[in-house]
């Protein structure tokens, strides 16, 4: 378990969480990026860019 960098609420990662994956904070709704798995470290997810996705 770690905490949301935006609101400080507890965030629990799934067992299969990957570095680079985006998780939502269920308390404030912030999109968070998994930066480290063990121990879990989260950062704010990058903003959507215009050239993303297919």
Partner 1 sequence: MQIGLLYSRIRKDEKLLLAELRERGHEVVKIDVRDLQLALDEAPEILSGLDLVVDRCLATSRSLYATKFCEAYGVPVVNSAETAQTCADKVQNSLALAQSGVPTPATDVAFTKESAMESIESFGYPCVLKPVVGSWGRLMAKIDSRSAAEAILEHKATLGHYEHKVFYVQEFVDKPGRDIRVLAADGEPLSAMVRSSDHWLTNAAKGAETDAFELDAEAEKLVEQASDAVGGGLLGIDLMEVGGESESDYTVHEVNHTVEFKALNETTETDVPAEVVDWLEAKADEADEETKHEVVA
- Residues in contact with partner 1 by CB under 8 A are 16, 18-22, 33-34, 45-46, 49-54
Nearer to partner 1, 8 or 30 (CB): 30
What's the closest the beta carbon of residue 51 comes to partner 1, in angstroms?
Answer: 4
Return all residues near 24 (Cβ < 8 A) that are at least 6 apart. Answer: 30, 31, 32
Choose between 1 and 52: whose C-beta lies nearer to partner 1. Answer: 52
Shorter beta-carbon distance to partner 1: residue 8 or 43: 43
- Look at the block and give the residue holding tokens 């629990």: 12
Q: Is the dihedral of CA 49, 9, 39, 17 positive or negative?
A: negative
């Amino acid at each position: 378990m770690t905490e949301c960098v935006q609101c400080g609420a507890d965030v629990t990662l799934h067992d299969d969480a990957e570095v680079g994956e985006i998780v939502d904070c269920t308390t404030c709704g912030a999109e968070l990026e998994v930066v480290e798995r063990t121990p879990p470290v989260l950062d704010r997810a990058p903003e959507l860019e215009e050239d993303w996705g297919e």
